């Protein structure tokens, strides 16, 4: 049988459909571990696999979606991880025959990675790597990483599978109605990250029906030539006339979207929740003898954060790499890094982005500190306050790898040289972690005196990178700036070297600008003149201080003159906004002198490092309740508004919530002394019986606590009777129920029915990935919340209305 990667160039392959809903049809009990059925009910699994093979599937998936160590531990089955995964592959293989590929399904851990949660990158990496190795050894043909909601967890899984196995890999994220993941990643950013990590196929599955997934695949197809995969749900779950949870879209209706997927450039078509063998059969008939649409990707250098991609190109404006997160010659920043305090890092990150930085260089090179830990803390801080990509600036291998594990997105490594030790250390890490790399044109003999010499080193770096499988667009070159005061005759060699790199290699170029004026008076004049010369020669991304107005002005004017600023838009905007910005800065400065306004902004910015000291200052003039009502609550409400409008995502939401928690911890004892404790109401939260997923519920808990609610959290997989009994005993105002699986949704109805009978005064609010507003209405619940921000609004409304 030909390799799957080869076949994808010539034909569209059909994956199978749903596993979970097919198991439910055959009597899977709520609360059972679906993967344990590989051991207890092998005939059922083979029957499902066989139905998809008969329907025409070219690829069938193993029943291993939740068979990682962390998920199995929820059912006390971690000790059976090998048996469950091995048996899953065996059952699929026995049915597949010689012409059907066995795809091993790997799903998420059910936990959020740091800094959003408690799971470290290394822990996730080991969990995914362990499962992947078992699946490969058992005979799987490829791995399908699917239903990932967080880019960082997806990175950990993809890196682990690529490192620990030799199998082709599909990587699928799941998207929400706004065409972003739960943590804010859009399809084009995902493409940037996964391509650099070497994914063989990239796609989207679950969460949405085919109509929305057509939009996502179209977006992906515009940014990549990598094969694409789509696995839509059969619509969103609803209740039928028998009060059973179903996915409403019929097979024929689903299949009608297949021509649109084909036109968008898809290479693999399958199905997710609710899809059936009938749909797969229709899909197979529609793709027979059809060649995948041709897609050509531009060869662009692209970096990414969790939520934003930045393209570096000769046809686009010059990108600024902000240099100010660097302790060299900066005593205060050095002290803070040594003390693991990130106040100045956060401030510099925010200020540089506001000034126009496109990428932030992060250097923590303070002697005699734990630089790996400092890099981790600094990068997490940068992630929390800004949304642009990062350049990891270090020559230390341990620090570099710590940074590469922490970073969310596709970073730039600053840097690698032409020295053998550097090439052998840095390039393998860049390949493994999907980073772009900045090559410095120096080697064991130092910096070549001529432009030709520097070109030679650049060619060596590029050649070695490509030998490892790093694409040429992921290699940038720094031709090195030498001080004009010491080596005036070498200044033009740097400029000539940029021109040669462009002419002969076509690579993006980076340059540290300010070293040119070292030891000279009036340094700014020298720096701006040199920057203009470098941009004219082809410089793409200078490393500079973006808050320096002269440098900004020179850069904008240079881009205009070399035709890299379309119709002078950036130049005109820069100057038309200056007066307005001065006025805003003046007003902002006046506003933030008030302690309550400062606290409001600290919550808005998620600055938990400074919230306590500012509260202590505010308490000299204000009571605790006043601080809460006039600063903290308005701040978190504004965060919610920004989340609703799509300018904030889950990371910012969580950081602001954690900042609020720090504030409340400080203020709670004072409120007790003032006898001024006030709550909107008492809320009981629980994930219903049979559902071991509680990420969403935990986020709602944090948001409700920080908006003035008293919370009783019963956890996950909670029995119906316990929820009902506790709600009545504790005299709660509202019960919040969460479910992530369609199999557990009926428990919501049972709880709602009994509570409405026994305690009609208690309001019931539903949420969870598979729950809908219609479902909540149909079963008699009082409300539905799509996310944590809406949960706060709805809970407030329900409780206030019931008390009035």
Q: What are the residue boundaries of the structural domains of the chain, listed by start?
A: 4-287, 301-566, 595-803
Q: Do the Cβ atoms of 434 and 392 come closer than 8 Å?
A: no
Q: Do the Cβ atoms of 719 and 707 come closer than 8 Å?
A: no
> Using DSSP, how many helices (H) and how many strands (E) does the chain show?
34, 25
Taking residues 524-551, report their average pLDDT: 97
CA distances from residue 277 to 16, 59, 160, 348, 606 in whole angstroms, order as listed: 8, 13, 32, 56, 48
Task: Please give the mean pLDDT across all residues of the chain.
Answer: 92
In 3-state terms, what secondary structure has residue 189?
helix
Taking residues 181-190, report their average pLDDT: 95
* pLDDT for the residue 703: 84
pLDDT score of 584 more than 80: no
Residue 272 is assigned to a ligand binding site: yes
pLDDT score of 676 more than 70: no
Residue 273 is assigned to a ligand binding site: yes
Bridge partner list, 64? none
Confidence grade of residue 590 (pLDDT, cut at 50, 70, 90): very low
Distance CA 581, CA 571 (A): 15
Distance CA 49, CA 59 (A): 10
Mode of pairing for the β-strands spanning 734-738 and 359-362: unpaired
Distance CA 690, CA 717 (A): 5
Distance CA 260, CA 214 (A): 7
SS3 of the chain: helix, strand, coil, percent, to 5: 50, 15, 35
CATH class of 301-566: alpha beta
Taking residues 62-66, report their average pLDDT: 97
* pLDDT for the residue 465: 98
Identical fold, 4-287 and 301-566: yes
Neighbours of 519 (CB within 10 A): 9
Range among 350-354, 627-631, 654-658 rated most confident: 350-354
Name the token pair of 331. 């005593």
pTM of the model: 0.88
Q: What's the topology of domain 4-287?
A: TIM Barrel (3.20.20)
Q: What is the per-residue pLDDT across 268-299, written as a single tens digit (0 to 9) for each?
A: 999 999 999 999 999 999 999 899 998 887 78
pLDDT score of 698 more than 90: no
What is the percentage of the chain residues whose pLDDT exceeds 90? Answer: 71
* pLDDT for the residue 589: 46
Taking residues 21-42, report their average pLDDT: 86
Confidence grade of residue 583 (pLDDT, cut at 50, 70, 90): low
CA distances from residue 28 to 50, 648, 770 in whole angstroms, order as listed: 18, 39, 18
* DSSP assignment letter at 184: S
Q: What is the per-residue pLDDT across 207-225, written as a single tens digit (0 to 9) for each?
A: 788 999 999 999 999 999 9
pLDDT score of 586 more than 70: no
SS (H, E, C) 78-143: HHHHHHHHHHHHHHHHHHHCCCCEEEEEECCCCCCECCCCCECHHHHHHHHHHHHHHHHHHCCCEE
Q: What is the per-residue pLDDT across 451-475, written as a single tens digit (0 to 9) for each?
A: 999 999 999 999 999 999 999 999 9
Q: Exposed/middle/buried for 341, CB within 10 Å: 0-12, 13-18, 19+?
A: middle
**Domain at 595-803, CATH homologous superfamily:** Cobalamin-binding domain (3.40.50.280)
Residues 6 or more apart whose Cβ sits within 8 Å of residue 501: 455, 458, 477, 479, 507, 509, 538
Mean pLDDT check: name the lowest of 147-156, 678-687, 766-775.
766-775
Distance CA 198, CA 433 (A): 10
């Amino acid at each position: 049988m030909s390799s799957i990667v080869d076949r994808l160039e010539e034909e569209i392959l059909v994956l199978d459909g749903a596993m979970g809903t097919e198991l439910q049809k055959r009597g899977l009990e709520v609360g059972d571990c679906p993967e344990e059925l590989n051991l207890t009910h092998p005939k059922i699994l083979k029957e499902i696999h066989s139905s998809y093979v008969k329907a025409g599937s070219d690829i069938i998936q193993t029943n291993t979606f939740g068979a990682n160590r962390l998920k199995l531990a929820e059912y006390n089955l971690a000790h059976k991880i090998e048996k469950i995964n091995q048996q899953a592959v065996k059952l699929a293989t026995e049915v597949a025959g010689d012409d059907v590929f066995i795809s091993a399904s790997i799903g998420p851990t059910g936990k959020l990675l740091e800094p959003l949660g408690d799971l470290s990158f290394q822990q996730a990496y080991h969990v995914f790597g362990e499962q992947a190795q078992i699946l490969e050894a058992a005979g799987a043909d490829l791995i399908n990483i699917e239903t990932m909601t967080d880019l960082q967890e997806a990175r950990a899984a993809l890196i682990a599978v690529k490192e620990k196995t030799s199998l082709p890999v599909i990587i699928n994220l799941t998207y929400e109605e706004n065409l972003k993941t739960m943590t804010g990643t859009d399809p084009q950013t995902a493409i940037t990250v996964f391509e650099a990590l070497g994914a063989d196929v990239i796609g989207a599955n679950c969460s949405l029906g085919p109509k929305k997934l057509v939009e996502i695949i179209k977006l992906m197809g515009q940014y990549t030539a990598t094969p694409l995969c789509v696995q839509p749900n059969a619509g969103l779950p609803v209740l039928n006339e028998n009060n059973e949870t179903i996915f409403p879209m019929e097979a024929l209706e689903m299949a009608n979207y297949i021509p649109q997927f084909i036109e968008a450039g898809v290479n693999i078509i399958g199905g997710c929740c609710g899809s059936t063998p009938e749909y797969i059969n229709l899909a197979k008939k529609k793709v027979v003898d059809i060649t995948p649409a041709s897609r050509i990707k531009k060869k662009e250098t692209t970096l990414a954060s969790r939520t934003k991609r930045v393209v570096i190109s000769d046809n686009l404006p010059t990108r600024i790499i902000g240099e100010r997160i660097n302790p060299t010659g900066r005593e205060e920043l050095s002290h803070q890094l040594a003390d693991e305090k990130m106040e100045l890092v956060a401030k510099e990150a925010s200020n540089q982005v506001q000034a126009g930085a496109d990428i932030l260089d992060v250097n923590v090179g303070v002697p005699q500190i734990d630089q790996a830990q400092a890099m981790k803390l600094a990068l997490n801080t940068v992630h929390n306050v800004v949304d642009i990509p990062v350049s990891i600036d270090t020559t230390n291998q341990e620090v570099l790898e710590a940074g590469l594990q922490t970073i969310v997105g596709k970073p730039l490594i600053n840097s690698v040289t032409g020295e053998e030790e550097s090439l052998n250390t840095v390039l393998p890490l860049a390949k493994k972690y999907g980073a772009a790399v900045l090559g410095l044109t120096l080697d064991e003999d130092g910096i070549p005196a001529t432009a030709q010499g520097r070109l030679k080193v650049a060619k060596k770096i590029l050649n070695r990178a490509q030998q490892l499988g790093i694409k040429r667009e992921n290699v940038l070159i720094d031709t090195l700036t030498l001080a004009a005061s010491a080596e005036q005759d070498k200044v033009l060699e740097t400029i000539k070297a940029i021109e040669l790199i462009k002419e002969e290699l076509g690579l993006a170029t980076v340059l540290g600008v300010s070293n040119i004026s070292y030891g000279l008076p009036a340094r700014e004049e020298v720096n701006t003149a040199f920057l203009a010369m470098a941009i004219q020669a082809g410089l793409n991304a200078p490393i500079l201080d973006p808050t320096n107005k002269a440098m900004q002005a020179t850069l904008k004017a240079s881009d205009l003159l070399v035709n890299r600023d379309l119709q002078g838009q950036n130049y005109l905007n820069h100057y038309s906004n200056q007066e307005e910005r001065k006025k805003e800065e003046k007003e902002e400065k006046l506003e933030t002198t008030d302690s309550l306004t400062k606290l409001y902004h600290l919550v808005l910015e998620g600055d938990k490092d400074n919230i306590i000291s500012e509260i202590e200052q505010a308490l000299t003039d204000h009571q605790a309740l006043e601080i809460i009502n006039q600063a903290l609550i308005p701040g978190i409400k504004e965060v919610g508004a920004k989340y609703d409008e799509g300018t904030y995502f889950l990371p910012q939401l969580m950081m602001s919530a954690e900042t609020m928690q720090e504030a409340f911890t400080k203020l709670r004892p004072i409120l007790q002394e003032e006898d001024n404790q006030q709550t909107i109401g008492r809320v009981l939260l629980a994930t219903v019986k049979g559902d071991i997923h509680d990420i969403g519920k935990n986020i709602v808990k944090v948001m409700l606590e920080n908006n003035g609610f008293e919370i009783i959290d019963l956890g996950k997989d909670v029995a119906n009777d316990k929820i009902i009994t506790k709600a009545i005993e504790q005299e709660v105002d509202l019960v919040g129920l969460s479910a992530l699986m369609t199999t557990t949704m009926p428990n919501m109805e049972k709880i709602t029915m009994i509570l409405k009978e026994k305690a009609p005064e208690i309001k019931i609010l539903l949420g969870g990935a598979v729950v809908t507003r219609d479902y909540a209405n149909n079963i008699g619940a009082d409300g539905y919340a799509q996310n944590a921000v809406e949960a706060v609004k709805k809970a407030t409304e329900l409780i206030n209305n019931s008390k009035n």
